[in-house]
Amino acid sequence: MSAKIQIIGGGLAGCEAAWQAAQRGCSVELYEMKPNKFSPAHELELLGELVCSNSLRSNAPDSAVGLLKEEMRQLDSLIIRAAEATAVPAGSALAVDRQQFAAYISHVMAEHPRIAVIRQEITTLPQTDTPVILATGPLTSEAMTASLIELTGEKHLAFYDAIAPIVAADSLNREIIYRKSRWDDDTPGDYLNCPMNEEQYTHFIDLLSTAETVPLKAFEEPKYFEGCLPIEVMCSRGKDTLRFGPMKPVGLAHPETGKEAHAVVQLRAENRDETAYNLVGFQTKLTYAEQKRVFRSIPGLEQAEFVRLGSIHRNTFICAPALLDNSLQMKKRPGLFLAGQLSGVEGYVESAAMGLLAGINAARLAMGQAMAVPPPGTALGALIRHLTETDPAHFQPSNVNFGLFPPLPKKMRKRNRGEYRAEVALGLLKEWRENVHCAADQIC
């Protein structure tokens, strides 16, 4: 095989894969259907567009997702580079200016001498000896899905993912809303908080529980990912579910009065200029009219101008344990790699991480080298283990979490476990890189 690969999909996973392969000397053709065609959830012509949220979650090195980001950082991840270059204040989380983030990635792809960005929709799997990475995302087109089904002979599983609304900063009532990050009393904080007393919370719950939602089509089954449930679905599980979930007031006492509210709605900056804010945890499938009516009952949002309303869309993924090997190649078709959410992970960081590994291994295959699979004690390896060793009958997409890692060798206090996991994982990653990997600016 020549040192050439094809990548279908210009999202986080596809762009990360292109970067990793190109940095290793491969010639990359990156196919992206925008602007000729857009998915139901995308709006920008740019590559690497974020849809559901602008947050890449915790940066804490002793958290599973923080560890995953650090492993990617050590492997020169483009997505982590872009995120850090376009970060907005978000406390201990890594959140980005959505437009600048996509512009950064698009610029790198356009300027890289070994990457050709081709604006064309690919509707069937290419028949070629060149390694191919399919990274078409959770909204893979019906035509490409049909092509995958034809190859695998199995039906794809599907669940429904919801998007949170965004409100204009200048429409917020700052006499009610206060700035504070959870548990942080020493700085003004990166989050805006809308406090509710018990009466206001009860009124909000009553409105939410009776609000009209967008109906699913007759052939659709309401199968949601537990880590991204619509706010109204959480509400249906009990009156206090929300105030023990995304609306929990713990650690958010008012900085002036010291009073803790009955419930709190948090707002996170959507861009660096802080002209728009995301309602944290408020992904929804309410109708647009109901979103305005219900969410304007939140104290401080009475006159809120909605820059973007929430929506619902279908996410598609494969049953990875039945179909993928640990290099992310399809068992039925070696040379075809799957990356991103389509492969069976959940979350922006996890999707990019699978793009990173697919890009590395596609490049190695193109150059006649053995596959490189990180050890399961790393965050990268734990995700691969979940994708390839889970019982296919019970497989569901997952964010990275320490429950995916091998058991601890000994009992230890909960607060020490994350630090221990991180220390072990980074040691294993260093050894793996020295033995079977190479620096991202070398041909390996």
Nearest CA to 320 among 384, 406, 405?
Answer: 384
Cα(7)–Cα(190) distance, integer angstroms: 37
Residue numbers belonging to the annotated binding site for FAD: 9-14
Contact 133, 11 (CB under 8 A): no
Give helix 12-23 / helix 98-111 axis angle, nearest 10°: 30
Residue 412: how many CB atoms within 10 A of its CB? 11
Query: 115-119 and 27-32 as β-strands: parallel, antiparallel, unpaired?
Result: parallel
Residue numbers belonging to the annotated binding site: 9-14
Cα(133)–Cα(164) distance, integer angstroms: 30
How wide is the angle at C-alpha 70 spanned by C-alphas 69 and 74, nearest 5°? 115
Task: Please give the distance of CA 96 from its chain centroid, rounded to a whole number.
Answer: 13
